[in-house]
Amino acid sequence: MNNPNISWTKVGLPRRAFLQGATALGGMAAEGMMFPRAAHATEGTLRTRTYADIRSMDPAFSQGVVDEEIQGAIYNKLIQYTPGRDWGWQLDAAAMIEQVDDTHINFALRDDIGFTNGFGAMTAEDVKFSFERIIDDALESTNRPDWGPLSHVEVTGERTGTIVLNNAFQPLWSITLPYIAGNIVSKNAFESVGGRIETEVVASSGPYMHAGWEPGQRTTPRRNPDWRGTPAAYEEIQIFHIDDERSAEIAFEAGELDFTRVSLDSVGRLRSNPIEGATLEEFPSLYYVWVGMNLDNPALQSLELRQAIQYAIDVPSIMEGAYYGVAQPSTGIIAPGLSGHREAPLTGVSANMERAMELMAASGERNVSLTIDVLNKSTNVTTAQIIQANLAAIGISLDIRLHEAAAFWELGSDESMQLVLNRFSMTPDPYYATSWFITEQAGIWNWERFRSEEFDALHLAAQSEGDAEARAEMYRRAQDLMEESGAYKFLTHEATPVIYRNSVAPALRPDGLPIYRYFGTA
């Protein structure tokens, strides 16, 4: 890497150096002033696993947690999630951040963060560019929902500015700033390559740099020698792309990985027969898994047919057969503990074959043959096979179509898709869940092409609703609308068991996902 030739100037801060912003999560307030814990002496290589290949190193087009695991290490945000069992945030690029009213957030940047490859010190202009480009209609960012009602960023000094919203936005502190859309990139670096990037990183600013990518194999963040914050704990992190947890477990037991998520069916074995020199930890998960039905497909135009499918799917059988009793059935896209979680789904958890047969008769459909698209992982395949048997009991023939990761994640634009077994990641605010099912996401992340004016209105209103119970009721109603459409059968939020070498001090979110910039050595 070239010498960044960064020249540093001090930033004067307001007398009050910090004020915790509004948040939907009480834990965030308690954690607001925590800083990253010091890493131990720099070690060699940390070898870990992720379940899919990267898609984009551009925060405007990141495809979720797989990309963010890298971006969170090579870029900086104003604030970052705090590792631990409780959701919280801590300062990162911001030396100060203050919400002065519902629509204005003042910030001041640290004076020791710069970009590699000669792109200079981080300034408020970089923050303005990073945030405003995501809401630019011309860019068509897939992550625009994360910024909700952002109006603009006003630059008030070299490293000071104000985030200006059109209206109050509750998820700002739990989603926008500490997650994907909060990553700050170099304005000059991005403009030098036409305004956006794919998988090649033009400039880094975090404790690691994106040093290499071998498609379908691994991604390698490497220690950034120009980073002036708490030193990175490892010279490099090798993140291997292994779709299946069981394959990752074999690699871990063979000594080829230092940290990985493990399959749910292995939890019992690992509890009773621990691997020497390793630690198993279990976390609740925010992921949500469901069966979706494409409302634009001619074969699925009958509401009664779709409802018959909903009632025929037996979720307890899936929990036992595919998740080995470790995961629990879900009631929607919002996990327990989050605002808007429903106590029960409308179509029940256990199969109701009598009701399913009544709906099949009402549909007038005969000799129904459908397909379900599935990511080729053992848990998913078993789940699909159970659903196949469930639907056969009401006279529906279901063909299972398996896909590797790269092909599966392109299915959203496939208008011929019928049923799909899907799984999305989540953050600790319900806004992130409903964002992907609004009308404008149809054919992008809304694979079911679900369209509801009421749903869209609820999603918009809930983002700024300050009354906690009123906001929760909006999200409960939004999930009712999804289920009433017949396009969704909710299955589980899974669980997140992970295993790591005792030589590793992992930094994990409360849902068990890694924050690599804070990993240390034990």
Give the Cα separation of 378 and 173 in Å (integer).
Answer: 36
Give the mean model confidence (pLDDT) for residues 113-142: 96
Give the mean model confidence (pLDDT) for residues 399-411: 93
Give the mean model confidence (pLDDT) for residues 140-154: 94
Instruction: State yes or no: pLDDT of 27 exceeds 80.
Output: no
Tell me which residue has tokens 């929902």: 145
Question: Apex CA 139: angle with CA 134 and CA 140, to 5°?
Answer: 85
Instruction: State yes or no: pLDDT of 19 exceeds 80.
Output: no
Give the Cα separation of 188 and 4 in Å (integer).
Answer: 13
Instruction: State yes or no: pLDDT of 20 exceeds 70.
Output: no
More confident residue, 131 or 24: 131
Give the Cα separation of 70 and 460 in Å (integer).
Answer: 30
CB 507 within 8 A of CB 516: yes
Dihedral-angle region of residue 151 (phi above 0 means left; psi in -120 to 50 means alpha; beta otherwise): alpha
Count the alpha carbons within 13 Å of 64 in the hemisphere toward its beta carbon. 16
Tell me which residue has tokens 């379900």: 372
Give the mean model confidence (pLDDT) for residues 396-424: 95
Starting at the earlier edge strand, list the strands of the sheet with 104-109. 94-101, 104-109, 160-165, 150-157
Quote the DSSP letter at residue 249. Answer: H
pLDDT confidence band for 326 (50 / 70 / 90)? confident
Which residues, including other chains, have CB under 8 Å from residue 86's CB and lie 6 or more apart?
A: 27, 30, 31, 510
Starting at the earlier edge strand, list the strands of the sheet with 288-293. 396-403, 368-375, 419-424, 288-293, 488-492
Q: Percentage of the chain with pLDDT > 70? A: 92
pLDDT of residue 18: 34
pLDDT of residue 12: 41
Give the mean model confidence (pLDDT) for residues 45-73: 94
Torsion of CA 400, 404, 408, 414, to 10 degrees: -70
Token output for 451: 């369209």
Mean pLDDT of the chain: 90
Give the Cα separation of 194 and 114 in Å (integer).
Answer: 21
pLDDT of residue 406: 85
pLDDT confidence band for 337 (50 / 70 / 90)? confident
Instruction: State yes or no: pLDDT of 210 exceeds 70.
Output: yes
- What string of DSSP letters covers 352-372? -HHHHHHHHHHHT--SEEEEE
Quote the DSSP letter at residue 412. Answer: G
Instruction: State yes or no: pLDDT of 167 exceeds 90.
Output: yes
pLDDT of residue 9: 37
Instruction: State yes or no: pLDDT of 35 exceeds 80.
Output: no
Neighbouring C-beta atoms of residue 464, cutoff 10 Å: 18
| pLDDT tens per residue, range 237-283 | 999 999 888 899 999 999 999 999 998 889 989 999 999 999 999 99
Instruction: State yes or no: pLDDT of 39 exceeds 90.
Output: no
CB 411 within 8 A of CB 373: yes
pLDDT of residue 290: 98
Distance separating the N- and C-terminal Cα atoms of the chain: 30
Give the mean model confidence (pLDDT) for residues 284-300: 96
Neighbouring C-beta atoms of residue 48, cutoff 10 Å: 26
pLDDT confidence band for 501 (50 / 70 / 90)? very high
Instruction: State yes or no: pLDDT of 383 exceeds 60.
Output: yes
> 155: exposed, middle or buried (C-beta count within 10 Å: 0-12, 13-18, 19+)?
middle
Token output for 495: 């669980």
Give the Cα separation of 405 and 387 in Å (integer).
Answer: 21
pLDDT confidence band for 11 (50 / 70 / 90)? very low
pLDDT of residue 34: 32
Size of the chain, expressed as the number of residues it contains: 522
Give the Cα separation of 305 and 261 in Å (integer).
Answer: 37
Give the mean model confidence (pLDDT) for residues 474-484: 98
Give the Cα separation of 18 and 35 in Å (integer).
Answer: 13
| pLDDT tens per residue, range 83-94 | 999 899 999 999
The 3-state DSSP class for residue 423 equals strand
CB 76 within 8 A of CB 184: yes
Which residues, including other chains, have CB under 8 Å from residue 402's CB and lie 6 or more apart?
A: 374, 375, 376, 381
pLDDT of residue 42: 53
Instruction: State yes or no: pLDDT of 4 exceeds 50.
Output: no
Question: Apex CA 438: angle with CA 283 and CA 141, to 5°?
Answer: 85
Token output for 360: 């099949």
CB 500 within 8 A of CB 278: yes
Mean pLDDT lowest among 154-158, 326-330, 345-349: 326-330
Q: Percentage of the chain with pLDDT > 90? A: 84
Which amino acid type is present at position 132? E
CB 17 within 8 A of CB 33: no
The enclosing H or E element of 234 equals: strand 234-241
